[in-house]
Amino acid sequence: MTTTAADHLLRADGVTVRFGGLTALDDVGLQVAPGSVVGLIGPNGAGKTTLFNVLSGVLRPTAGTITWKGAPPPGRRPHHLARAGIARTFQGLNLFPMMTVLDNVVAGADRLAAGGAFSLISGLGRHHRDERELRARALAALEGFGIAEHAHRLPGTLPYGLQKQVALARACVGEPELLLLDEPASGLSGTQIDALAEQIRGFSRDMAVVLVEHHMDLVMRVCDRIVVLDFGRVISTGTPEEVQADPLVTRAYLGASDDAAPGHTNGAPR
Amino acid sequence: MSSPTGKSAERATGPGAHAAGSPDTPRGRSRRTLPSPLRHLLFAALGLAAVTGLLLVTGDLTALRLAAVGYTMLAVAGLQLLVGGSGQVSLGHGAFMMIGAYTMTLLVLHQPMLPIAANLLIIVAVSAVAGIAVGAATARLHGPYLAGATLILAVGLPGLTHRYHEFLGGSNGLNIRTAGAPPFLQGVFTDSEWKALVVWTTVVIGLAVLATISSGRLGRRMRSLRDDETAAAMAGVPVGKTKVVAFVIASAAGGLGGGLQAYVLGTATPSSFTLVLSLTLLAALVFGGIGSLWGALWAAVTVVYLQIWATDLARSLELGRNVENNLPVVFFGIVLILVLRFWPLGLHGALTRLGARLRPPTTR
């Protein structure tokens, strides 16, 4: 936290979320610099997904502020944040099942259309050019993610690994400045994870990335900074090396074993 | 005039879907060189020409039936955009037809000097306002809750005619006389044919608008929120607003359909806009095929002609009045069950599948 607020793309301060009596997030802070990859880790139930939902506007925090490029975001609903340049993927992919792969990705590019409400409803004005451009972008994205040959299939007919690529293409095609990835490695094989690591490093040339991930190997490989959550609190922040060396993290999260072992050390003494 | 979902879904699930080829085949590109409003208006002109030709070779009776197909189709097409497009199930579509029909009769009765085009525009405005009111009130409701809320509309609205008996004519409704063919066309078209022509002109324009919307960005937004609201919101789709817009477009189309019905039949009575009508429209939509505007055409043809054939059959067999009144519903029920049993995607789904099978795989 050596930089000032204005240098941050996204900044969350004192975020607290309570569900009735349960405190899911307690005074959590997070800074994301442009072009950086931030990993969000912690045992199951640590509040990672809750924080993600707050960052993407799905959940409104009980207390705390979110700052986007040094100012409050243009609105608190997910579509406001999406239009401002925050894209996200979902743990369950949430592709549009009845739309083709191409249409799925074109839908993700919608924020880049220049036409206003009139062209949207009438199909006049900029609409035609917008549609052509969105389609061209989507096709380029499909090409880039290696799924161009499946453009006209329904996502449900593709193998899971390819569906994940569709989800990534849909999130990236809108040229977001911040990409939130929710467990991008889950369900992938070793070689697929290697490819994913390459991809994520590639994304960070154009946008900042925040990822929630259980796969420690991937997190340590791609992240510039790591935030460790446990029981809704930030227990450690820093570079992968710093976090790995932090005894608090080792005790609370990594336990006795030397590799990732998520979800079984919640009862460890802190 | 079909929205892309139906077709592409068919293509994607059909045999040999992997051979669909690159998305920029020459055929795909040439279809997109014309802006979609223009393309759909061209289609509309072709459709109108076809209907005009049909009117010139057939008689007065067929003209009235064609007109009925036209306004039913417009109403179903609006429902298509709402249910198939944005995923909101409405059981109250007949209520918007009623609003349109009563607006038409009231305008003719109280402002007889207004031309038909002005009446139709006013009907669009009135039913759109009704759509905003209902859509805004129900935008947060999902599935059965939304259906229930719209059900109230279908059940309650006809009751208003009794409450305001003086103004809306009670159960007898309102009767109007509308002008026939203009003097210079009197030799060419009979009054019924002229009315059918007015109806179809409005219908094809309305359909062109609906097709443009459903194949464009707005249609894609609606489909994305139909498929997954959370993901749609994260793709930048304003969920609530888009739902209300879908509702408004659907109610405008429904109102226009109802207004045209009143124009052709010269009457608007509460008994023609009961819950049965709303349910029939929805069932017809499923029957025709959800997801494509073509489905609306098959739906409208079926609704109109099943009614006629069933009545004819009942008369020729000299069945009682009770049987005659209920036979169309029975017929429709049977046909609906059969179609959905064998073609779950409706009549249009069956036709596209047939088309895909007949087309040689190399040209796809």
Q: For the segment A133-192, what is each residue's pLDDT rounded down to a tens digit? A: 999 999 999 999 999 999 999 999 999 999 999 999 999 999 999 999 999 998 899 999
User: Within a domain: residue B211?
Assistant: yes
Give the pLDDT confidence score for residue B6 in this predicted structure. Answer: 38
Instruction: Identify whether B317 is part of a domain.
Output: no
pLDDT, residue A191, reads: 92
Ordered domains of chain A (ranges, CATH): 1-85+176-270 (3.40.50.300), 95-174 (no CATH)
CB contact under 8 A, A121 and B213: yes
Cβ of A132 under 8 Å from any chain B Cβ?
A: yes
Cβ contact (<8 Å) for A127 and B216? yes
Report chain B's mean pLDDT, rounded to a whole number: 86
Q: Which residue's entry shows tokens 């990822």?
A: A211
Query: Comparing A7-11, A103-107, A122-126, B1-5, which segment has the lowest mean pLDDT?
Result: B1-5
Residues of chain A with pLDDT > 70, as a percent, come to 91
At residue A237, the pLDDT reads 93
pLDDT band with cut points at 50, 70 and 90 for residue A109: very high
pLDDT at A57 over 80: yes
Q: What is the pLDDT of residue B327?
A: 83
Q: Does the residue B82 lie in any domain?
A: yes
Quote the pLDDT of residue B129. 96
Q: How far is CA B300 from the centre of its chain?
A: 7
Question: Are A157 and B11 a contacting pair at CB < 8 A?
Answer: no
Q: What's the domain range around B237?
A: 4-15+27-272
Read off the pLDDT of residues B277-336 as tens digits, 9 standing for 90 and up.
999 999 999 889 888 889 999 999 998 998 888 888 888 888 888 888 788 888 888 888
Residue A253's pLDDT is 64
State pLDDT tens for residues A9-56.
999 999 999 998 889 999 999 999 999 999 999 888 888 989 999 999
pLDDT at B19: 36
ipTM of the complex: 0.87
Determine contact, residues B264/B68, Cβ cutoff 8 Å.
Answer: yes
- So what's the pLDDT on residue A266? 42
pLDDT recorded at residue B255: 97
Q: Does residue B21 form part of some domain?
A: no
Best to test chain B binding among A94, A99, A102 (most B CBs inside 10 Å): A99
Of A100, A110, A115, the CB nearest to B237: A110
Min mean pLDDT across A2-6, A71-75, B352-356 is at A2-6
Q: Is residue B119 part of a domain?
A: yes
> Per the domain annotation, does B310 fall within a domain?
no
More confident residue, A268 or B199: B199
Taking the C-alpha atoms of B131, B136, B142 and B147 in order, what is their torsion angle to the nearest 10 degrees?
-40
Mean pLDDT confidence for A214-221: 90
* Residues B213, A153: C-beta atoms closer than 8 Å: no
Contacts of A88 in chain B (CB under 8 A): 234
Question: Does the CB of B216 have a partner CB in chain A at under 8 Å?
Answer: yes
Least confident of A202-206, B3-7, B103-107: B3-7
Q: A198 CA to chain B: closest CA distance, Å?
A: 24
Which of A102-111, B145-154, B261-270 comes out lowest in average pLDDT? B145-154
One-letter-per-residue 3-state SS of chain B: CCCHHHHHHHHHHCCCHHHHCCCCCHHHHHHHCCCHHHHHHHHHHHHHHHHHHHHHHCCHHHHHHHHHHHHHHHHHHHHHHHHHHHCCCCCCHHHHHHHHHHHHHHHHHHCCCCCHHHHHHHHHHHHHHHHHHHHHHHCCCCHHHHHHHHHHHHHHHHHHHHHCHHHHCHHHCEECCCCCCCHHHCCCCCHHHHHHHHHHHHHHHHHHHHHHHHHCHHHHHHHHHHHCHHHHHHCCCCHHHHHHHHHHHHHHHHHHHHHHHHHHHCEECHHHHCHHHHHHHHHHHHHHCCCCHHHHHHHHHHHHHHHHHHHHHHHHCCCCHHHHHHHHHHHHHHHHHHHHHHCCCHHHHHHHHHHHHHCCHHHC
Least confident of A1-15, B113-127, B302-316: A1-15
Q: Is B64 among the domain residues?
A: yes
Closest Cα in chain B, distance from residue A240 (Å): 29
Q: Give the total number of structural domains in chain B.
A: 1
Q: How far apart are CA A180 and CA A166, in angstroms?
A: 15
Mean per-residue pLDDT, A211-236: 92
What pLDDT does residue B11 have?
36
- Dist CA B221 CA A173 (whole Å): 16
Name the band, by pLDDT with cuts 50, 70 and 90, for residue B363. very low
Confidence of residue A1 (pLDDT cuts 50, 70, 90): very low
pLDDT at A96: 96
Residue B2: pLDDT above 60? no
pLDDT digit string, tens, across residues B209-242? 999 999 999 999 999 999 999 999 999 999 999 9
CA pair distance B54, B200, nearest whole angstrom: 12
Q: Nearest by CB to A94, from B220, B223, B228: name it.
A: B228
Q: Confidence class of residue A255 from pLDDT cuts 50, 70 and 90?
A: low
Is A155 in the B-facing interface, judged by CB distances under 8 Å?
A: no
> Average pLDDT in the B43-72 region?
92
Domain contains B322 = no
How far apart are the C-alpha atoms of B149 and B160, rounded to whole Å? 17
Provide the shortest C-alpha distance from residue B282 to chain A (in Å).
20
B148-171 per-position pLDDT tens digit: 899 999 999 998 998 898 899 888
